[in-house]
């Protein structure tokens, strides 16, 4: 190779960071796609041990990562291919070869480990549909990347632009369909916002309820209104509806019974686990009256409560 050729094949800062950026975007996109599909599997093939599990946060994070990094990956890859088509000697750049070989190595090791885990699980007799689908997801996604970059190393995508474009459209379509499908599970951003309002209202009612129980234990009577619960020494301030700013409805219905009301945007979000409906909203640790007692429909819902003096005895003075 002559001196002129060596100068043309020299790695510039632009080449280095374009290839590095493309690989980082690839790894993040592949990981996010696998995570998103795995959450689909968790939803449709639930594990009985995943009590009250909610997958929406993981799905939202995976969607956000794909929305940002996958288009970036496609754009950077297209730039690199066009650059090589314009300057074929850039196929020999060391940064290109090193990163491609690294990607092939990581992909190969990942698929090998995945197969080992699959075989080991089968030999232990713990094979399930859920596990098989997750293992196949890793094999398909990582295997697809391995195949793509094996051809990239041979220069196929730079030589055959049409085939490269077809692959880009097919993969983009799969990623887009996966993202869109997620919204049928977690709902739209507006739906999620309303659901978070409802969750906060449930937490507020639980907090008020325990303040009422504490008030009764100390004074052996129920408060007249929610404002009676406020105490500058303990720092408790009665929460208000975060959506409207209005006070929650409280009414004493007996010597030891009362009801709390709030206006909800939608029915409580439940998950079906092992054939049983369980709340997807995590409950406070130690809450005795959580879970089923806080399920609600859309609209104004009142929760009737009666204090059990044996479980919550009055404090001795």
Judgement on whether residues 176 and 215 belong to the same structural domain of the protein:
no
The whole-number pLDDT of residue 273 equals 37
Judgement on whether residues 157 and 214 belong to the same structural domain of the protein:
no
Judgement on whether residues 142 and 276 belong to the same structural domain of the protein:
no
- Of the chain, the percentage scoring pLDDT greater than 90 comes to 55
Judgement on whether residues 119 and 146 belong to the same structural domain of the protein:
yes
Judgement on whether residues 21 and 161 belong to the same structural domain of the protein:
yes
The whole-number pLDDT of residue 195 equals 87
- Average pLDDT on 222-234 reads 87
Judgement on whether residues 144 and 251 belong to the same structural domain of the protein:
no
Asked if residue 316 is part of any domain, the answer here is: no
For residue range 31-81, what is the model confidence (pLDDT) as tens digits? Answer: 999 999 999 998 888 776 554 456 678 889 999 999 999 999 999 999 999
Question: Do 46 and 39 meet the contact criterion of CB atoms below 8 Å apart?
Answer: no
Alpha helices in 45-128 (DSSP H): 56-86, 94-123
Judgement on whether residues 120 and 220 belong to the same structural domain of the protein:
no
Judgement on whether residues 182 and 194 belong to the same structural domain of the protein:
no
How many separate domains does the chain show? 2
Confidence of residue 317 (pLDDT cuts 50, 70, 90): low
Asked if residue 256 is part of any domain, the answer here is: yes
In this model, does residue 296 exceed pLDDT 50?
Answer: yes
Both ends of the chain: CA-CA distance in Å? Answer: 96
In this model, does residue 2 exceed pLDDT 80?
Answer: no
Say how far apart CA 241 and CA 247 lie, in whole Å: 6
Asked if residue 142 is part of any domain, the answer here is: yes
The whole-number pLDDT of residue 200 equals 93
Domain enclosing residue 283, as ranges:
190-306
Give the global pTM. Answer: 0.73
The whole-number pLDDT of residue 179 equals 93
Asked if residue 312 is part of any domain, the answer here is: no
Judgement on whether residues 136 and 232 belong to the same structural domain of the protein:
no
Q: Which of 26-30, 39-43, 205-209, 230-234 has the lowest mean pLDDT?
A: 230-234
- Average pLDDT on 209-215 reads 93
Last residue of a domain, one of 133, 167, 187: 187
Last residue of a domain, one of 187, 213, 242: 187
Judgement on whether residues 62 and 194 belong to the same structural domain of the protein:
no
- Average pLDDT on 247-252 reads 93
Q: Which candidate, 140, 122, 123, places its Cα nearest to that of 131?
A: 122
Q: How many CA atoms lie within 13 A of 32 on its CB side?
A: 24
Judgement on whether residues 226 and 160 belong to the same structural domain of the protein:
no
E strands, the chain, are 249-252, 257-264, 270-273, 276-279, 299-306
Judgement on whether residues 111 and 97 belong to the same structural domain of the protein:
yes
Say how far apart CA 251 and CA 175 lie, in whole Å: 52
- 3-class secondary-structure state, position 132: helix
Asked if residue 317 is part of any domain, the answer here is: no
Asked if residue 127 is part of any domain, the answer here is: yes
**Helix-then-strand count for the chain, H and E:** 8, 5
Confidence of residue 1 (pLDDT cuts 50, 70, 90): very low
The whole-number pLDDT of residue 186 equals 81
CA-to-CA separations, 121 to 25, 152, 261, in angstroms, rounded: 32, 34, 50
In this model, does residue 274 exceed pLDDT 80?
Answer: no
Mean pLDDT of the chain: 85
Last residue of a domain, one of 187, 216, 236: 187
CA-to-CA separations, 11 to 16, 77, 93, in angstroms, rounded: 7, 17, 6
Asked if residue 313 is part of any domain, the answer here is: no
For residue range 136-193, what is the model confidence (pLDDT) as tens digits? Answer: 999 999 999 999 999 999 889 988 989 999 999 999 999 999 999 988 888 788 888 8
CA-to-CA separations, 75 to 69, 81, 88, 179, in angstroms, rounded: 10, 10, 19, 19
Asked if residue 98 is part of any domain, the answer here is: yes
């Amino acid at each position: 190779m002559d001196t002129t050729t060596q100068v043309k094949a020299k790695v510039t800062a632009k080449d280095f960071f374009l290839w590095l950026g493309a690989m980082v975007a690839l790894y993040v996109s592949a990981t996010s796609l696998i995570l998103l599909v795995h959450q689909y599997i968790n939803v449709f093939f639930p594990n009985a041990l995943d009590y009250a599990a909610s997958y929406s946060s993981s799905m939202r994070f995976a969607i956000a990562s794909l929305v940002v990094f996958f288009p970036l990956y496609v754009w950077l890859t297209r730039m690199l291919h066009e650059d090589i088509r314009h300057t074929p000697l850039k196929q020999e750049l060391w940064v290109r070869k090193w990163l491609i070989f690294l990607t092939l190595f990581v992909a190969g090791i990942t698929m090998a480990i995945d197969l080992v885990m699959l075989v080991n699980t089968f030999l232990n007799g713990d094979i399930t549909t859920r596990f098989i689908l997750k293992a196949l997801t890793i094999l398909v996604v990582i295997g697809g990347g391995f195949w793509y970059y094996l051809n990239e190393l041979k220069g196929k995508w730079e030589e055959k632009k049409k085939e490269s474009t077809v692959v880009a459209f097919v993969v983009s379509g799969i990623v887009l369909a996966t993202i869109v499908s997620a919204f049928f599970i977690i709902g739209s951003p507006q739906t999620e916002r309303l659901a978070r309002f409802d969750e906060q209202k449930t937490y507020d009612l639980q907090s008020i309820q325990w303040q009422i129980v504490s008030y009764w234990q100390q004074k052996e009577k129920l408060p007249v209104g929610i404002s009676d619960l406020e105490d500058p020494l303990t720092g408790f301030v009665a929460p208000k509806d975060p959506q409207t700013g209005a006070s929650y409805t409280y009414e004493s219905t007996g010597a030891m019974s009362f009801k709390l009301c709030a206006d909800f945007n939608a029915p409580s979000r439940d998950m079906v686990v092992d054939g049983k409906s369980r709340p997807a909203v995590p409950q406070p640790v130690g809450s005795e009256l959580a879970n089923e007692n806080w399920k609600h429909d859309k609209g104004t819902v009142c929760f009737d409560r009666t204090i059990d003096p044996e479980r919550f005895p009055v404090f001795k003075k």
